[in-house]
Amino acid sequence: MSDDSKALNFIEHIVEEDLANNFPKEQLRFRFPPEPNGYLHIGHASSISLNFGLGLRYNAPVNLRFDDTNPAKEEQEFVDAIKKDVKWLGYTWDTERYASDYFQQLYDWAIYLIKNEKAYVDNQSSEEMAAQKGTPTQPGTNSPNRDRSVKENLALFNQMKNGEFEEGTHVLRAKIDMTSSNMLMRDPIMYRVLHKAHHRTNTDWCIYPMYDWTHGESDYIEQVSHSFCTLEFAMHRELYDWFLDQVYDAKKVRPKQREFARRNLSHTVVSKRKLAQLVENGVVDSWDDPRMPTISGLRRRGYTPESIRNFTETIGIAKRDNLIDVSLLEFQVRNHLNKVAPRVMAVLDPLKVVITNYPEGEEEWLDAENNPEDESAGSRKVPFSREFYIEKEDFREEANKKFFRLKLGKEVRLKNAYIIKAESCTKDTDGNIIEVQCTYDPKSKSGSGTEESLRKVKGTLHWVSIKHAVEAEVRLYDRLFTDESPDTHKDKDFLEFINPDSLQVIKGFLEPHLKDAKIGDRVQFQRLGYFCVDTDSSSEKLVFNKTVGLRDSWAKIAEK
RNA sequence: UGGCCCAUGGUGUAAUUGGCAACACUCCGGUUUUUGGUACCGUCAUUCAAGGUUCGAGUCCUUGUGGGCCAACCA
């Protein structure tokens, strides 16, 4: 998976440098630390690939750690979903950890800080504390409670822990520097009172540690050597280090925080909060709606773990702002599915064709190759008869030379079958073409080896015998947002850019063996794209999702 | 008015740490093809700007310009 010949990203350079400076390779340890307050998305995939990729590269353990310090937002449902997604992506964690496992240790350390006069209880309102905080250009002022005695702080903190105070009335603060140019160093809050049940510790605690107090210490407890997070935490590093300094034992590994830029994908949002809004507002059906950029949404859409991993590898890791074009993601699914997806025929916008010189009532089962990219995939039989469907857009009464498909008086090959010639067509009262009459060349059967079968005709069409067709619901997806970067407009909310046509549900006609398709099966509808069987599918009602279309150079020609 | 981070083709990353700007995608053009798919070939940047150091600068220095981040009892 990690190829030594491949260029290193800046994170890997940092690790290499540490190794070169005699950091013991056996002490390398990483972690992936999601908060269980939502589902993982494509942005997390980068972080997952980075951390687990590092683990694979250096044969080092990687912990899955849930950053569960806020019981108001976190749920077991999310823990389960996150574990499922990481596994599905193909990664294995060393141990499953929870920040909540460390509540007692964190509490003990907090007492230690109080005793060292590095922390104090503040019982001002949040408004008062905010006022004292100052601004980025103006220093803050000290809290009147900053010089409380150790004894008093200990007593108050104990009361906080024992549930004697209401939420919002008391906090424990680190005593650092109210004049620091880094706002986070202006006596940050370590603990707040929250009378809420936690999904793991239930009501054991009513004081909960804040992120900054928890994260670095958790890394330290787990002896994580390198702690990678996104750029918005860069300013937190100073605080991360300060908290570590308070408890650090020089004989142990001292975790190092470094930051990388979060990956932004075009035409979507990559923020748990905003994705949650899409679900709550009913813009999509669920977190795993196939239009969502969540791991579960991509899975349901038909993406493979390999394609997502290859995507994260090709987009890399860096520190600059970015907006990754979805085409890089789409390329990876096509690339993988091209190798593994069986080819089948399906008509999504049917036009009836009748072969006037083909015997009525007769049918033939023709050989069809399952995958030209994979000989071992073998072949199957497809039924052919006098009446079948082709796509409406594959027929025109007349068209110019660039149109290789069926037109009156011209020939076209039916994939795996015969060469046919359009003779005439019939229309309804509105002038819509409703049927095309053709003749076929009986000697032109695919694979028969006859001179006629070897004839070259410019176009080849997919088709489905009407009598044998299996019907299915087919869900076609378009990008969720009309703007390539919907959440970067100062004057407009991202919800204003919702694409109203992101989902189109149609009826498709499939070749018969597809009636046994199972949920999750991925196939290529030839000439159309890759599709997979949706979780809503059943034996009574087949449901397919369009994963991604094939590259379509005809569409580009047709536009001109 | 402060602090921190960043700047390489249309997009995303590289560049043996000072030595011929590379890879993938996209776009455009072509070859092959019983998928207008796949595969294959080709075109597309003197690295934000201006100075400086150097035999030599994407890489180091200075200044400027542009962008992002920083004041939740969120993570």
pLDDT surpasses 80 at A559: no
- Residue A266 reports pLDDT greater than 70: yes
The DSSP string of A16-84 is HHHHHTT--GGG--EEE---SSS--BHHHHHHHHHHHHHHHHHT--EEEEE----TTT--HHHHHHHHH
Rounded Cα gap, residues A207 and A193, in angstroms:
4
**What local confidence, expressed as pLDDT, does residue A3 receive?**
41
Q: Is the pLDDT of residue A435 over 50?
A: yes
The whole-number pLDDT of residue A1 equals 36
A5: pLDDT confidence band, cut at 50, 70 and 90? low
Any catalytic annotation for residue A515? no
Going by C-alpha positions, the residue among A313, A302, A306, A311 that lies closest to residue A522 is: A302
A26 is catalytic: no
Measured CA to C1', what is the nucleotide nearest A552? Answer: B36
Report whether pLDDT(A267) > 70.
Answer: yes
Say what the pLDDT of residue A2 is: 37
Three-state secondary structure call for residue A522: strand
Nucleotide nearest to A263 (CA to C1'): B12
The DSSP symbol for A165 reads S
pLDDT, one tens digit per residue, over A208-252 is 999 999 999 999 999 999 999 999 999 999 999 999 999 999 999
Percent of chain A with pLDDT strictly greater than 90: 94
Distance, Å, A320 CA → B49 C1': 19
A464-473 confidence digits (pLDDT tens): 999 999 999 9
Q: Is the pLDDT of residue A160 over 70?
A: yes
> Using the 8-state DSSP alphabet, how is residue A262 labeled?
P
* Stretch A9-21: mean pLDDT: 94
Handedness of CA A386, A391, A395, A400 (dihedral sign): negative
Task: Identify which of A514, A412, A409, A405 has the alpha carbon closest to the alpha carbon of residue A464.
Answer: A514
Q: How confident is the model at residue A261 (pLDDT cuts 50, 70, 90)?
A: very high
Q: Nucleotides of chain B within 7 Å of a protein C-beta?
A: 1-8, 10-15, 17, 24-29, 34-39, 67-75
Q: What is the pTM of this model?
A: 0.95
Q: What is the rounded average pLDDT for all residues in chain A?
A: 95
Q: Is A272 a residue of the active site?
A: yes
